[in-house]
Amino acid sequence: MKNHPDCIAIVTSDDIPIVQRFKESVIEKNQKPEARQSFSKFTEFDSAHLVHNILASDKVMYKGHPIAAVAARNQHKAEELLNLIKVEYEVLNPVTSIESAIRNNATKLTEIELERNIIDNSISPETIVDWANVGGDIYNELGDLQQGISESDYIIEKDFTTETVHQGYIEPHAATAMWAPDGRLTIWTCTQGSFAIRSATAAIAGIPESQVKVIPTEIGGGFGAKLTTYLEPVAAMLSRKSGRPVKIVMTRKEVFEGTGPTSAAHMKVKIGSTNSGKITAAKVYLAYEAGAYPGSPVGGGTLCATGPYNIENLLVDGLDIVCNKQKVQAYRAPGQPQAAFAVEPVIDELAEKLGLDPLEFRLKNAVTEGDRMPNGVPHRRFGCKELIEAMKDHPHYQTPLEGDNRGRGVALGFRWQGGQTSSCTINVNKDGTINLITGSVDIGGTRTSVAMQAAEILGIKVEDVSPSVVDTDTVGFTASTGGSRITFDTGLAAVKAAEEILKEMCSRAALIWEVQTDDVTCDDGIFVCAKNSEDKLTFKELASQMIITGGPVTCSVSANSTGIGPIIAGNIVDVEVDPETGKVDILRYTAFLDAGKAIHPSYVEGQIQGGTVQGIGWALNEEYFYTEDGTMANSSFLDYRMPTTLDVPMIEPVIVEVPNPRHPFGVRGVGEAPIIPPLPALANAIYDAVGIRMECLPMSPSAILEALEKKTR
C-alpha cells in the first residue's frame, strides 16, 4: 500500500505519538502484554480513551471504528486505496445492549476496575451479577427512602427504555490540517470548541499546544456532538507524513457509524404520594449506554430526573454501561430527556389516581429556592412555579379538546447548568463602532446576543458592534460552545470588557475636559462632566478623538462563569392517534421556557422550536437499528427517520422571564432544556388519546399498534 503510486500517506494507531510513547515505555520496562491495563491509566491524563476511539489500536470496539486512514490526490483515489486494505479480525460475540453487558459471563470490554460499595437499599436490578462492563456509578440519596415509601398512600412503579438516537446535524464532520515545515500545525475544522480540539490534537500528536492553531469554520449543526475530536489528529498525522495539507470529510454513513449518538437507556422509577397530593418518596434507577468506552451522560440524568419536584426522600442510582456501540457523545441536554421520559409519565399517573389536574399536582410539588437537588445542593432562584402557572393559564390548556382518539399531554423538563471560562476582546474604532472578538463558536445566534450585551453597557446601537469568532491564536482561552452557556458566559466576558472600555473612555474624556476621571459619568452612551454639565460627548464623538488623547482604546478580558444555574421548560401537546395504523398526528403544540431574560426574543423562540422538534423526532420515530452482529442497518437520512415540516405543526413558544440573579441582565441558558419535555409530554398525550401507557421509545406506529393489541387481549 505504501508503495502504491496513488498513495500519498497512510496512518494507523502506530503513527500516533502518544501510542508510540506508551509502547516504547513498555519495551524499556520489559513489561508483558498484560500492561494494556496501564495504557488506560497512561492515557487518562492525555485524552483518556479518545485516542483509542480515533484509530483502533489493538481491538475494534464497534462496527464503524476506524482502523486506518489514507491520503490520495482526490477522494475517489482515496476510496479505491481504502478498498485495497485487508484486515484480519478475530470475531467475538458483540455486547450490544445494557442487558447483555451486565449479564453473568459477559465479554469484558473495559479495563476499568470499578470500586463500588453496594448499599443495601440500592435499586440496581437483580440482573446485575457482573460489574465488568460498568464504567461508572453515581449514587445520590436524600432523607429516608423507606420512611417516605411507608408514608405513601399511592405508589407507582414502572420500567422504561429508550433507544440510541443521533443528533441529526446536516453538516458532516470535516477537518483540514496543514503541518508546516517549521513544526506548526494549523487546523480548519467544524467544531463547537476550537480550544478543546487544540488541546486534544496537541496531546495526541505529542507537541505543545502553542504549536497548534485551530480555526473554527462556520458550523452546520452540532447539538453537542461536535465537542470532541475524530478527524483532526488523523488529518494532522497524514499532513506531517505527506508534507501537504490534508482534508477529511466524513460520509453520512461514516457519521452514523463512526461518531457519537446519545445513549440508549433502561430506567426504573418508583414514586409515592399521599392522598393530599404530596410526593413523599422517589426511587430512580438509570442505566445508560456509554458505547465502546466509559462516559455516558448518566450524570445529567441522575441530577435532573426529579428536578422540578421537591422530594425529601429520594434515591437516584445511575450506571454507565460499556457496550459494542459507537462511543456516545452529548446531545442537547445530555441524559436529561431519557430521565424525564421515565419520571414525568409516573407523575401523570399519580395525578390521575389522586383525581388531580396534572398541572395542579405538579404545582403542589414544585421545587422552590432552597429545596435540595439529589446531590444535596440547594436550588437557586428560578421560575418553576411561574412556568407551571403560565401553562395552566394559557389558552391552549384552557381550551377543551374534543374528538375521538384525541389526547392532551403535559410535561416538565429540568436542567441544571454549570459554566466555564470565556474570553473577549473589544477594539474601539474611530467612527464609534467596536469590534467584538470572541472564541465562542456560534451555533444559535450567540454572536448577536453577546454583541447586544456589550452594546447595552456602552450605550451604543447593536448595529455599531461587529462581532466575530476567531482562532485559538487570536483570543484568550475560551471553553467550548455547549451547555447553553455562551449568551451567559461569553456575555459575562463581553460585559466585563465593555465596562473596562467605559472606564478608559471616561479617562479620555477627563483628559479633554482637564478633570479627574471620577468627575466623568456615562449614561446611555453620553459622557458628561460632573463639574460642568454643558461638557458632553457621545460615544462616537469621543471615539473620534481617541488617537489624540492617548491612542487606540482596546481591552481583552477573561471571565469565569458565575454558574448558570437551573432551567425549566414545559410542554402542552394535543395529538390524534389512528388506532388502525398507530400513526400519531400532532394537532397543537405549545412550548414554555424560563429564559431568565430573553436578550433576543426571536432567537430564544427559535431555540425553543428547534429543541422541541428534535424531541418530537426522538419520541415518535428516531432510533438506531442494529443487526445481531452489531451493524447499524439504517445509516442514512433516508432510513433514519427525522421529522419533516409535514410531521409537526407550528410550535407556539412562550417565554417566561424570572431573572437569573447570577447574571447582570438576568440571563439563563435556553438552548437545551426545550428538548427534554417533548418525550414524556407526547407519551402522556398518547395515553390520554387511546389509554395506553407507552414505556419504550420510539413510540412509532408499530409500537403503538403492538401496545393497542395487548390492551385488547
Joined together, the cell numbers standing for residue 46 give 492525555
Cβ distance 467 to 399 under 8 Å?
Answer: no
Give every CB contact of residue 530 below 8 A, 6+ residues apart in sequence.
515, 519, 520, 521
* Interatomic CA distance for residues 293 and 298, integer angstroms: 14
For 74, other C-beta atoms within 10 Å of its C-beta total: 8
HSE-CB at 402 with a 13 A cutoff on CA atoms is 2
Give every CB contact of residue 207 below 8 A, 6+ residues apart in sequence.
183, 185
Give every CB contact of residue 44 below 8 A, 6+ residues apart in sequence.
none
Angle at 671 between CA 220 and CA 161, to 5 degrees: 95
* Interatomic CA distance for residues 282 and 269, integer angstroms: 7
Joined together, the cell numbers standing for residue 419 give 459554566
Cβ distance 478 to 423 under 8 Å?
Answer: yes
Give every CB contact of residue 684 below 8 A, 6+ residues apart in sequence.
344, 345, 348, 358, 407, 409, 410, 411
Q: Which residues of the chain have pLDDT under 50?
A: 32-46, 115-127, 129
pLDDT at 31: 53
- Using CB atoms within 10 Å of the CB of residue 507, give its burial: 0 to 12 exposed, 13 to 18 middle, 19+ buried: middle
Cβ distance 230 to 44 under 8 Å?
Answer: no
Joined together, the cell numbers standing for residue 102 give 451486565
Helix 17-28 to helix 36-45 angle (10° resolution) is 130
What are the extents of the domains in the chain?
A: 9-90+173-249, 265-374+391-418+564-712, 422-559
What kind of fold does domain 422-559 have according to CATH? Aldehyde Oxidoreductase; domain 4 (3.30.365)
Position 531: which residue type? Answer: K
pLDDT at 107: 84
* Interatomic CA distance for residues 165 and 332, integer angstroms: 12
* Interatomic CA distance for residues 205 and 209, integer angstroms: 10
Reply yes or no: is the peptide bond before residue 698 cis, omega within 30 of 0: yes
What kind of fold does domain 265-374+391-418+564-712 have according to CATH? Aldehyde Oxidoreductase; domain 4 (3.30.365)
* Interatomic CA distance for residues 50 and 200, integer angstroms: 8
Position 520: which residue type? Answer: V
DSSP of 66-117, one letter per residue?
---EEE-SSHHHHHHHHHH------------SHHHHSSTTPPP---------
Name the helix (H) or strand (E) containing 612. helix 601-620
Cβ distance 342 to 679 under 8 Å?
Answer: no
pLDDT at 695: 98
- Strands 526-529 and 520-523, how do they pair? antiparallel
Position 30: which residue type? Answer: N
pLDDT at 388: 98
422-559 matches 265-374+391-418+564-712 in CATH topology: yes
Please name the residue that has the C-alpha cell 399521599.
274
Joined together, the cell numbers standing for residue 624 give 438506531
Cβ distance 672 to 488 under 8 Å?
Answer: no
Joined together, the cell numbers standing for residue 423 give 474570553
Q: Which pairs count as long-range contacts for 17-23, CB under 8 Å and 24+ apart, including other chains? A: 17/204, 17/205, 17/206, 18/43, 18/46, 18/47, 18/51, 18/203, 18/204, 18/205, 18/206, 19/51, 19/57, 21/206
Indicate the CATH number for domain 9-90+173-249. Answer: 3.30.365.10
Give every CB contact of residue 181 below 8 A, 6+ residues apart in sequence.
243
Return the closest-CA partner of residue 387 out of 682, 680, 687, 674.
674
pLDDT at 45: 35
Cβ distance 69 to 234 under 8 Å?
Answer: yes
* Interatomic CA distance for residues 559 and 283, integer angstroms: 39
pLDDT at 23: 64
DSSP of 546-606, one letter per residue?
TTTTTS--EEEEEE-----EEEEEEEEEEEEE-TTT--EEEEEEEEEEE-SS-SSHHHHHH
pTM of the model: 0.95
* Interatomic CA distance for residues 658 and 597, integer angstroms: 7
pLDDT digits (tens, 9 = 90+) for 577-596: 999 999 999 999 999 999 99
